[in-house]
Structure 1
C-alpha cells in the first residue's frame, strides 16, 4: 500500500479552484474600493499572491511529500534556481552596461 501513487480526485481540483478564486477576489476588492491605504493594499496583494502560489503548487502541480511529489519538487526548485540565475545575470549585465556607457 505504501508504493501506491497519490490519486487526485476532482475534489482536490475544486478545493484548489475555490481557494484560488478567493485569493484573487480579495486583492481585487481592496484595489477597486481603495478602502485601505496603498501600502496595506500592496501587502495584502503580495500575501495573497504567495498563498496562491502555494495553492497552485499543491493542488494543481501536486507538489507533496510523496515520492513522485518530491521529484516534482526538486524539478521545480532546479527550474526556480536557473530562472533566478538568469534574472540576476541579466540585471548584472544591464547595470554593468549602464555604468560603462556613462563614461
Structure 2
C-alpha cells in the first residue's frame, strides 16, 4: 500500500468515514418526547380553556391567541416528534418545510382575500337583510 492508496480511501479515513459526528441531528430521548408531549398538551388545553371560558371580550383577540398557539404547536411537533432541524439531511428537510409554509401562506391568504371580496361584491342582498324587522 502506498501513500496514494491511503489518501484515496484505503487508509484510516477512507470510505467508512463520511464526516458524520455524534452531535449532528437530533437524537430522540424519552425526556425529549415527554417535553414535546407536555408542550403539545398545554398548547391544546390552554386555547380550549380560552374559548370555553370566554376569557377575552373580543373574539379577534381569542382568534389571534389561538393562531399563535397553533403555530407554536406546529413548531413543537416538528422539533420534538419529527426531529426536524437545520442539521438533519444537510438542511434540505427544513428548506422543503420553509418552501411548503410559503406556499400554504400564499394559498390561504389568497383564498381569504378572494372570499372577502366575493362577500363584499357578490352578495349585497345579504347585507340589506340585517336591518329587517
Structure with higher helix content: 1
Extract unaligned runs of 5+ from structure 2: 1-18, 123-133
Alignment of 1:1-103 (within 5 A): 3-4=21-22, 5=24, 6-37=26-57, 38-68=59-89, 70-83=91-104, 87=107, 91=111
1:75 counterpart SS class: helix
Distance 1:57 1:36, change over 3 A: same
- TM-score, normalised with respect to structure 1: 0.68
Q: After TM superposition, which residue ranges in structure 1, 4 or more long, deviate above 6 angstroms?
A: none
Shift of 1:52: 0.8
8 Å contact kept, 1:30–1:36? yes
Shift of 1:35: 2.4
Structure 1 CA distance, aligned partners of 2:38 and 2:89?
25
Shift of 1:3: 2.1
Q: CA RMSD in A?
A: 2.8
- TM-score, normalised with respect to structure 2: 0.55
Count of aligned pairs: 93
Structure 2 CA distance, aligned partners of 1:15 and 1:59?
8
Point out the structure with max Rg over C-alpha.
2
